[in-house]
Amino acid sequence: MIALLTGRVESLDAGACIIDVNGVGYLVHASTRTLSALPKAPALARVLIETVVREDAILLYGFADPAERDWFRLLTTVQGVGAKVALSILSGLAPRDLIGAIAAGDRASLTRVAGVGPKLAIRLLTELREKAGAMPAGGIAAPIPQGGLAADALSALGNLGYRRIESQPAVEGVIERLGEGAKLDVVIRETLRVLAK
């Protein structure tokens, strides 16, 4: 099994790249996050690899960091999530954002990803809720507020279609400015103004 490739970036395309290792070009499928982290051709690159052997093909999936690779492995354990959908999820949500979305039960963030419908989003939230906390974030995620004014505001904004990862910093900023005694409708209205900018 191939676990790592170090070689020259031959080309970067939508959803894949070719890594030339001593004259052998390996086609590596990757998320947009990993592809954007790779240097432009013909620079040298190091890519972590997950090898998937199917009946009709041997496919290589590349990752810029171990956190993304670990999430790929976990996502593909969920029924209905193949390698293509897992890469789509990782293109739309960084590992730390996935942890936040799963911990918060943020279905809206998941359904914005191509290939993830409402039923699959519920399955992801259900099956990964216990496992997400132990997964690497690839960075530090902001803690999810439990109860209180911030949690109520975030819940209301989620119902309006805003992703928690976008709305949480805005809500916290508004509450800091207005104080904990602010009314919920005022916090939501002020947060919407911030998000509209």
Whether 22 and 7 have beta carbons less than 8 Å apart is answered as yes
Residue 33 shares a structural domain with residue 48: yes
Is there a domain that residue 38 lies in?
A: yes
- 77 and 38 in a single domain? The answer is no
For residue 19, the domain's CATH number is 2.40.50.140
Q: How far is CA 38 from the centre of its chain?
A: 18
Q: Supply the pLDDT for residue 142.
A: 42
What pLDDT, in 10s, does the model give residues 78-115? 999 999 999 999 998 888 888 888 888 888 889 989 89
Domain count, the chain: 3
- Is residue 44 located within the same domain as residue 79? no
**Is residue 71 domain-shared with residue 53, that is, in the same domain?**
no
d(CA 71, CA 81): 12
Q: Within this chain, do residues 179 and 128 fall inside the same structural domain, yes or no?
A: no
In-domain check, residue 141: no
Residue 142 located in a structural domain? no
Give 22's pLDDT tier (boundaries 50, 70, 90).
very high
Bridge partners (DSSP) listed for residue 61: 29, 50
pLDDT (mean) for 67-75: 93
Cα 50 from Cα 87, distance rounded (Å): 12
User: What is the mean predicted confidence (pLDDT) over 73-82?
Assistant: 93
178 lies in which domain range? 148-196
Residue 173 inside a domain? The answer is yes
* Residue 46 clears pLDDT 70, i.e. is over it: yes
145/41: higher pLDDT: 41
Q: Report pLDDT for 58.
A: 93
Q: Last residue of some domain: 43, 63, 83?
A: 63
Residue 186 lies in a domain: yes
> What pLDDT is stored for residue 133 in this prediction?
67
CATH number at residue 98: 1.10.150.20
